[in-house]
A and B are shown apart, each in its own frame.
Chain A
Amino acid sequence: DAGVTQSPTHLIKTRGQQVTLRCSPKSGHDTVSWYQQALGQGPQFIFQYYEEEERQRGNFPDRFSGHQFPNYSSELNVNALLLGDSALYLCASSSGAVNEKLFFGSGTQLSVL
């Protein structure tokens, strides 16, 4: 039973570029959430997707957008990258409207130079 998988594991970009991160949820899960974790900080909620729609959103600018596909996998897109976007981006999956438990992937470490 595969857990939450994310790709790529590491990514280096320059300011102004765009990036796409990918996530496959744990088997049986249909809800995907994205979090940003800066060094030495707790994860910060970006948004959550359920039934291919954004259900909740945190305090992140519109440069951060996402998508969920019919197979429940998800993408996080960040446009016009800033140095401050450098962080570990974590994907978490859960099971729909019943179970609050979130299971995290290993993350994508994004460095913006």
Chain B
Amino acid sequence: GENVEQHPSTLSVQEGDSAVIKCTYSDSASNYFPWYKQELGKRPQLIIDIRSNVGEKKDQRIAVTLNKTAKHFSLHITETQPEDSAVYFCAASRGHTGGGNKLTFGTGTQLKVEL
């Protein structure tokens, strides 16, 4: 089955700096890669996603890049703000081609944005 590895497990940045979180996946059939943000005690929230036919996607301060050959994808947050502090999870899925959109999650990155 799919295995998703995520690094780093913790990340501390100064406000205004950029943050990068990296994930690798093992299943070459995976074609959908979402990122979720989970604040303490709250639900995971989808912040951005990318499909395998696209190499990069951007939404304001957040961007995701995908390298299918190397089987890795990354989340980039620019101009970080204190409210960006949370746990971020990457995930991978075969999408509906796999008979259902089961997500395999990484282990999470605790991002702390310091003033």
Interface residues of A (CB under 8 A from B): 4, 31, 33, 35, 40-45, 48, 50, 55-56, 58-59, 90, 94, 97-98, 100-107
Contacts and interface: CB of A to CB of B under 8 A. Distances in A.
A103 B45 CA distance: 7
Sort A-B residue pairs by CB-CB distance and give the 6 closest, nearest first: A42-B105, A56-B100, A100-B101, A55-B100, A104-B43, A106-B43
A94 B105 contact: no
B89 interface: yes
Given A45-B102, A48-B100, A56-B100, A105 B89 contact: no
A109 to B, nearest CB: 9
A51 B30 CA distance: 24
B60 to A, nearest CB: 18
Contacts of B101: 31, 33, 48, 94, 100, 102
Contacts of A48: 100-102
Nearest to A43: B105
A58 B1 CA distance: 10
Given A41-B107, A98-B96, A100-B32, 20 more contacts: A4-B43, A33-B102, A33-B103, A40-B108, A42-B6, A42-B89, A42-B105, A42-B106, A42-B108, A43-B44, A43-B103, A45-B103, A90-B44, A97-B96, A100-B101, A102-B34, A102-B101, A104-B43, A104-B45, A107-B43
A104 B34 contact: no
Contacts of B93: 100
A102 B103 contact: yes
Contact of A100 (B42, B44, B96, B108): B96
- Of residues A31, A100, A101, A107, which shows the largest number of chain B Cβ atoms within 10 Å of its Cβ? A100
22 contacts: A31-B101, A33-B102, A35-B103, A40-B108, A41-B107, A41-B108, A42-B106, A42-B108, A44-B105, A48-B100, A48-B101, A48-B102, A55-B99, A55-B100, A56-B102, A90-B43, A90-B44, A94-B101, A100-B49, A102-B101, A106-B42, A106-B43
